[in-house]
Amino acid sequence: MINKNLLDALNTQIGLEAHSSFVYLAMASWCDKEGLKGCADFFYNQSDEERVHMLKILHYVNEMDCHAVTPAVPQPAIEYKSIQEVFKLVYAQEQKITAAIYDLLSLAIETKEHSTHNFLQWYITEQREEEALVRSILDKIKLIGEGGQSLYYIDKEIEKINKARMAAETAADAADAPAA
């Protein structure tokens, strides 16, 4: 069993991860509408990742003989001023999730929930990687600048990131596969 305060915090985190998934889904839809296919694909993938993050916590809570609670998810924004604004919002979202994960880890340490402490280590690494990725995208956007043509180049840069991530995932899957 998990300490009640930690269980409540884990259930709250399930809601935060679900909300992140829907935020990224809304951003993907906006990018599709704006003709930014590379950015749309990036956000569809991000939405899927956040759903996986949510499910990992949900399964962990249930595995620990507790009850994971599926959250009500607030409606995310559906309109944005620019792709620059979108990625700034993404960075703020990732920082919010990182802070929540750190709070969970602190609570796990405080309540001596060693299994949960161990479980959360994956999230610590994941959030560091997510924030670094978004910062690198914001740096590229800043270098490319604003204007009509910049959207084309931003979208192409995000497409490159998508391809690199897919190649890395394929390589990781191949490394994990049992030898024939």
Range of the domain at 21: 4-70+79-162
What does the pLDDT read at residue 169?
83
What does the pLDDT read at residue 149?
86
What does the pLDDT read at residue 139?
95
Distance in angstroms (rounded) separating the CA atoms of residues 44 and 76: 15
Domain count, the chain: 1
Nearby residues of 27 by Cβ (< 8 Å), 6 or more positions away: 39, 43, 46, 76, 80, 86, 89, 90
Q: Give pLDDT < 70 ranges for the chain.
A: 180
What does the pLDDT read at residue 68?
97
Count of positions (residues) in the chain: 180
What does the pLDDT read at residue 98?
97
User: Has residue 50 been placed in a domain?
Assistant: yes
Supply the DSSP symbol for 79. Answer: -
What does the pLDDT read at residue 10?
98
What does the pLDDT read at residue 180?
63
* Torsion (CA) 151, 160, 54, 63 in degrees, nearest 10: 180
User: Has residue 167 been placed in a domain?
Assistant: no
Distance in angstroms (rounded) separating the CA atoms of residues 10 and 61: 8
What does the pLDDT read at residue 167?
87
Residue 29 structure tokens: 């839809």
User: Has residue 174 been placed in a domain?
Assistant: no
Contact 108/6 with Cβ under 8 angstroms?
yes
The number of beta carbons lying within 10 Å of the beta carbon of residue 94 is 21
CATH number assigned to the domain comprising residue 14: 1.20.1260.10
